[in-house]
Amino acid sequence: MTLVEQYDVLVIGSDIESLVSALFLARKMRSVSVIIDGKENPDGDSEVEITDPENNKYRFAYDSGAFVSGLNQNGLLEKYLHAIGIDTDLTGEVSEYDMVETTEGEFRKRINIFERFLVYLVRYYPKQRDEIHRFFRDLEKHYENYVMQQEYMLKNTDYTLTSLMIEWGDYSLSALLGKYFSDPLITNEFMMNCQLNGLNSDDVSSYNFFSGYFLGLKEGFYYLPVSVDGIKKLLMEKLKIINPKIIQHRRIKEYVGDVTGRITHVIDSTNKEIAAKHIIVGSKPDRFYKKYFPDLTEHLELIDKFHPGLESPTRIRTVYLALNQKPHNIGITEMNYCFSCAGLAKPYITRLFNYSLYEPTSTGAKKGALCVDYVYDENTEIGEQEILAQIYSKFPKLKKTIVGIKQGNPRELSAMVSLDEVRRGLTINEEIAIEASEHLMFFDNLHLTGSWVRPEAGLFGRFHTGVVLGDKIEESLYYGENDDSFYYLTNDEIMVMLKHNYGRKTLGKLENHINFQIGKSSYYVRIKDKNLTIHRGEYPHPDLTIYTTNDKLSNLLLKKVCFENVMESGGLKYTGSSELLYKVVDAFELDDCKKTEVKFQPKLPVKNAGAKLMFVYLLAFSALAFLCNFIDMIWLVPFALGISLAMGYLKWRFFRRISWFEFSWAGIYLAMLFMAIFWQPFNVLHNDDMLLGLMGGMFFISWIINQPIVHDFRKYDYRADYAETKFFKTVNNGMTFVWALIFLLILGGVHVSGDRYVSAWYNLVFLGIFLTYYYPIIYVSTNIKK
C-alpha cells in the first residue's frame, strides 16, 4: 500500500487532553489531523431539563467536572487558555468559599483563599498551629516554583522539574499530610472539595492534587457555565477555524511499528494508511496496549504499577432536583455545600450545589433548582430513594418541596498514585522521565493521554496535560529528526537572518510593526526605512502578523522552497494586509528559491571538525611563534610544516577543498625551512614579530575584503545552504576580525609589557578558540532586544 496521508501530528481521540494538544500544535502551524475513532462518549452532563406537574420548566447547565482553578487574569490556567486561543471564550464565576460539614453534622464557612484558609485551619485546629504554618510555607514555596517553571515552558525558555514533584511527588495525600499533621480531621478538610470528595486519601497523588489545588487557593476556584462536553465542542470549533477538514470520523484498525521503536503509520477500517511524525491517542494505556499490542506483557505489568487506579469502579453522578420554592426558604442559603465522607460506606452524597443561586434564570421567580453529587460503586445498584434519604437527613425541609427529579450521566472518579516500588527513591532524571510520561512510551513517537493522567487535578489537570504534551511534541518537531541535516536553525537565528536580508529593498519611510509567531516563539520587528530592530514578544497593534514554523521559514530563507508553495500548503498564515505581506516577503527576500548545485558536504562523526582543523593550524602556528623567541628555527619549522601538510591532507580527504590560507602557510613554512638551513641570522632570529605580523595581517586583510578565513573552515560544520547565507558569512567575518585582533595584540602587547610577559599574551589564543564556538550565540542574542 502507498501512504496517502502524511502529517506532523495525528491525534486519535476526542477527549479534552487530546484536543488541547491538537489545538496547541495547530496554532503553532503544525500539520495536524484529528481522528474521532467511533462514537463520541459523553464526558459529563450537558444540559438537563425538568418539567414539573404544573408545566414549569427547570433548566440545568451543571457539570460536576466543570470546576477549575487558576482562571483569574494572569492566572496559570488563563495562560494555558491563551496559548490555545480560548482565553476569551472560557470564563467562570469565582468560588470564594464553601460550606463544609463538620463531624457533628453542622456546616461552617471555609474561605477558599490561601491566607484565609490558613487562618480557618488554625482557628478550628489550634493545637496544630505550628504544623499548619509550616505546611503553608512549604505549599507557597512549591506554588511559586511550579508557576515559574510552567511560565518558562510557555515562554519557550529553560525550565526543569518542579520542587512540588521533587519533594512531594512520591507521597499519597494521606502520607504527605501525615508528615505535617497529627490530627486526621485536617486530611478530611482537604478531601472535601470537588476533585477528591468520595475518594480514599491513601489512593490520591499529592503531586497531582496540589498542582491544581494551590492554584485555586492562590488564583481562585471557578465554576464554569459550560459543561466538559461543551468545552470539547469549543475546542473542535477552534480547530475547524484553523482547518475545516482537520476533524475526521474514522475507525483505526491497526498501528504499525518498526524495529527502531516508532509507529510508522496507522491503518483505518478502509485500509488507508496515515503516517505522522507523532501520534497522540486519547486512551487508557492498559486498554490500548491490550487491544493493539497484546504481546507487550512486561509493559502491561509496568502500567499496572505506575497507574493502578486506571480501572476505578467508583462513579460520581448528579441528581437534579426541581423545587416549588426558593432554596433559602428551607435553609439552603449558600451556593456550595461539601459533605464529609470519612468512614462512610458508599453510596454517599458529596456535594450540594444551589444552582438557582448560581443561575437565577434557570427557574421561575419562586422556584428552586439544586444539584446533588453522589458517589457509588459501578457494580452496585443504587435506589433513588437511598440518595434522597441522605439529602433529607441534611436538609429535612427539602422533602416537601421537590416537584421533579432527574439523574445525570455517571462519570468515573479515580485517583492515580503509583505503587511504592516505582515511586520511592527516584533520582531527579527518573522523576523527569516520569513527568514526561516516558514510562508509558513503548514507542518513541506514540503518546497516550486522557483524564487518567492527573485525575486529582480536575479540569485544570486536563488542560495542563494537553498543553504540556503539545509543548513536548512541538519541541521535538522544532529540533527536527532529519538525517540529511546536521544543524538546525534556532528561531533566534532565523530572525537575525531576516535582519541581514533586509535593506536592499525597504518597506518605505513609514514605520511598520511586524509580529512573527514561529512555533512557540514570539517576536516583533520595528521597521522604518532601512532601520530595523528585533524584539522578543508581541507588539499589541501590529500592521502584520505572520504565523509559521521554524522549518517553513528557514526553508524560505535558505531558498529551498517558494513562498507560494508554502502558502498553498498551509505552512504560513497571516493577519493584516495581503499587500503588506508581499512587500515584507520581497523586502526580506523570502521568495527567490533557486535550484543550486548540491555541494559535497560530509557529515563527520567529529562535531565542528572544520573549526578543530583550524584550531590545530593556529595552535601549531602559535607554538612556533612563541617558541621561536627561545629556540632556533631549524628545530621548530619542520614540525609546523609537517602539521600544516597533515591538516591539509585531512581537509582534502574529508572536505575535498583546500583554501588559499592553507596553501599560503604551507609555502611560508617551506620558505622558512630553507631560510633556517641556509641563512644563519634567520635561524637564530629569536623574534616572533614577523610571524605574528603575517598571521594578523592575513586575517585582517581577509576581514577587510569580506573573504573571511574562518568561513573557509567553519562552513564544513553546517548545512551547505546555511553556510552560503549572508548571516553566516557576516558572523564568520566578525570572528575573522577577532583572530586578527588577537595576533596583532600579541604582537603589540609584548612590546608594551616586555618579553617576560610573552607567554601571558599568547593565552589570548585560547580566548579566540572559546569565542569561535560562542561568538555566533553572542552575536544572535545581542541582535534581539528583550
Collapsing DSSP states into helix, strand and coil, what is residue 687? coil
Mean pLDDT of 538-564: 89
CA atoms of 475 and 447, how far apart (whole Å): 14
CA atoms of 660 and 647, how far apart (whole Å): 14
pLDDT for res 600:
62
* pLDDT of 40 above 70: no
Angstrom distances, CA of residue 573 to CA of 29, 47, 537: 8, 37, 18
Collapsing DSSP states into helix, strand and coil, what is residue 507? coil
More confident residue, 301 or 390: 390
Mean pLDDT, the chain, as a whole number?
90
Helices 726-753 and 689-704: crossing angle in degrees, nearest 10, is: 150
Locate cell 497507574: which residue?
A: 307
Locate cell 509580529: which residue?
A: 515
pLDDT for res 648:
87
**What pTM does this model have?**
0.82
CA 262 to chain centre: 21
- Give the three cell numbers for residue 757: 610577559
Fold (topology level) of 491-587: Nonspecific Lipid-transfer Protein; Chain A (3.30.1050)
Prior bond to 360 cis, omega within 30? no
Domain spans of the chain, in order of start: 5-44+228-309+418-479, 48-225+313-412, 491-587, 609-785
Q: Where are the alpha helices (DSSP H) in 409-523?
A: 420-423, 428-435, 458-479, 491-501
Helix (H) or strand (E) holding 627: helix 609-627
pLDDT for res 595:
61
CA atoms of 279 and 295, how far apart (whole Å): 20
- Give the three cell numbers for residue 738: 577577532
Model confidence band, residue 428 (pLDDT cutoffs 50, 70, 90): confident
Model confidence band, residue 1 (pLDDT cutoffs 50, 70, 90): very low
Is the Cβ–Cβ distance between 448 and 285 less than 8 Å?
Answer: yes
Angstrom distances, CA of residue 607 to CA of 39, 304, 714: 51, 43, 11
pLDDT in tens, 279-288: 999 999 999 9
Mean pLDDT of 611-633: 92
Backbone φ and ψ of 500, nearest 5°: -70, -30
End-to-end CA distance of the chain: 51
Backbone φ and ψ of 83, nearest 5°: -65, -25
Helix (H) or strand (E) holding 175: helix 173-180
Burial of 434 (0-12, 13-18, 19+ CB in 10 A): buried
DSSP 205: B
CA atoms of 275 and 572, how far apart (whole Å): 22
Helix, strand and coil in the chain, % to nearest 5: 50, 20, 35
Residues of the chain above pLDDT 90, percent = 63
CA atoms of 530 and 511, how far apart (whole Å): 10
pLDDT in tens, 229-238: 999 999 999 9
DSSP 598: P
CA atoms of 400 and 580, how far apart (whole Å): 70
Mean pLDDT of 217-228: 92
CA atoms of 255 and 273, how far apart (whole Å): 10
CA atoms of 322 and 69, how far apart (whole Å): 29
> b/e map of 88-97 (b: 16 or more CB within 10 Å)?
eebebeebeb
Model confidence band, residue 159 (pLDDT cutoffs 50, 70, 90): confident
Residue 584 one-letter amino acid: V
If you classify domain 48-225+313-412 with CATH, what class do you get?
alpha beta
- Give the three cell numbers for residue 299: 509493559
CA atoms of 735 and 775, how far apart (whole Å): 7
> Closest by alpha carbon to 579, among 553, 549, 543?
543
> b/e map of 57-77 (b: 16 or more CB within 10 Å)?
ebbbbbbbbbbbbbbbeebbb
Half-sphere exposure of 300 toward its Cβ, with a 13 Å CA cutoff? Answer: 12
- Give the three cell numbers for residue 157: 525558555
* pLDDT of 474 above 80: yes
Cα-Cα-Cα-Cα torsion 203, 138, 120, 178, nearest 10 degrees, comes to: 40
pLDDT for res 565:
86
Determine how many CB atoms are found less than 10 A away from the CB of residue 151: 14
Sign of CA dihedral 761, 762, 765, 767: negative
Model confidence band, residue 8 (pLDDT cutoffs 50, 70, 90): very high
pLDDT in tens, 694-720: 999 999 999 999 899 999 998 888 878
pLDDT for res 472:
93
CA 464 to chain centre: 10
pLDDT for res 598:
55
More confident residue, 318 or 591: 318
Mean pLDDT of 554-580: 88
Furthest-apart CA pair in the chain: how many Å? 123
Is the Cβ–Cβ distance between 45 and 38 less than 8 Å?
Answer: no
Sign of CA dihedral 138, 141, 143, 146: negative
514: alpha, beta or left? (left if phi > 0; alpha if psi -120 to 50): beta
Q: 9: which strand partners? A: 32, 278
**Domain 5-44+228-309+418-479 architecture:** 3-Layer(bba) Sandwich (3.50)
Determine how many CB atoms are found less than 10 A away from the CB of residue 133: 13
CA atoms of 310 and 426, how far apart (whole Å): 22
Model confidence band, residue 484 (pLDDT cutoffs 50, 70, 90): very low
Determine how many CB atoms are found less than 10 A away from the CB of residue 248: 13
Mean pLDDT of 761-783: 90
pLDDT in tens, 82-123: 999 999 999 899 999 999 999 888 999 999 999 999 999 999
pLDDT for res 201:
92
Rg (CA), the chain: 34
CA atoms of 322 and 52, how far apart (whole Å): 7
- Give the three cell numbers for residue 33: 489531523
Residues in the chain: 786
Mean pLDDT lowest among 243-257, 441-455, 583-597, 674-688: 583-597
* pLDDT of 290 above 60: yes
* pLDDT of 64 above 50: yes
Determine how many CB atoms are found less than 10 A away from the CB of residue 454: 22
Mean pLDDT of 199-210: 93
Secondary structure tally for the chain: helices H, strands E: 30, 26
CA atoms of 67 and 216, how far apart (whole Å): 10
Is the Cβ–Cβ distance between 69 and 212 less than 8 Å?
Answer: yes
Angle at 407 between CA 404 and CA 413, to 5 degrees: 150
Is the Cβ–Cβ distance between 590 and 557 less than 8 Å?
Answer: yes
Model confidence band, residue 449 (pLDDT cutoffs 50, 70, 90): very high
Determine how many CB atoms are found less than 10 A away from the CB of residue 718: 20
